[in-house]
Structure 1
Amino acid sequence: MSYLTEDAALIRALLPREARPPDGADGLFLLYAVLLRAKGETVTAADVHDAWAAWMELRDPGHAALVPFDALDSATQREDLPYVRAIQAAARARAAARVGQT
């Protein structure tokens, strides 16, 4: 298992129960793992949407939500928030683990 796969699994584990990732989302969570490493706690809902959009482009290029984050209605924008929070929580967990190692 690679470091990105481990980060993806951590993010998935930190999602609240009500969050419902799409089927076959392993690749999506790898993109979220990249966001974890690149943005950490500063990740935004727009970042999460962009990662989802890149993943969805390969799965369903005609999906109605393949628009910039700001063009989404507020209900659809809110769907990204559990993923933002999970990535932020994973960033905090990774930082705490690094502090514990020193």
Structure 2
Amino acid sequence: MSYLRADAGLIREFLPLQARPPADADGLFLVYAVLMRAKGEQVTAVDVHDAWAVWTETRNPDHAALVPFDELSPVTQREDEPCVQAIQAAARVRTKERP
């Protein structure tokens, strides 16, 4: 298993059950893993939405939420928060593991 897949799995572990995406979202979590490595605990909902948008663009280019984060309704914006928290939690774990 690659280090990115390991990070993706760690992020998945921190997501609450009700926020889990479809089982075929491996590509999304790989993007989240890169985001975690790039931004760490500073990751934002805007970052998460952009990562989701990249993944969704390849699957459903007509999805209604493929707009900039600030154009989403507040309800839709809040849907990114569990992923933000999961990425931040995974980043904290990875930071503690580094010498």
- TM-score scaled to structure 2, two decimals? 0.97
Q: Distance in 1 between matches of 2:16 and 2:22?
A: 14
Give the match for residue 41 of structure 2: 41
Q: Displaced runs of 4+ in structure 1, greater than 2 A?
A: none
Runs of at least 5 residues in structure 1 that lack an aligned partner in the other structure: none
**Superposition deviation, residue 75 in structure 1:** 0.6
- 1:22-101 correspondence runs (5 A): 22-98=22-98
Q: Across the two proteins, how many residue pairs are aligned to each other? A: 99
- TM-score scaled to structure 1, two decimals? 0.94
**Superposition deviation, residue 34 in structure 1:** 0.3
**Superposition deviation, residue 6 in structure 1:** 0.2
User: Identity of aligned pairs, percent?
Assistant: 70
**Superposition deviation, residue 97 in structure 1:** 1.3
Runs of at least 5 residues in structure 2 that lack an aligned partner in the other structure: none
Q: CA RMSD in A?
A: 0.8
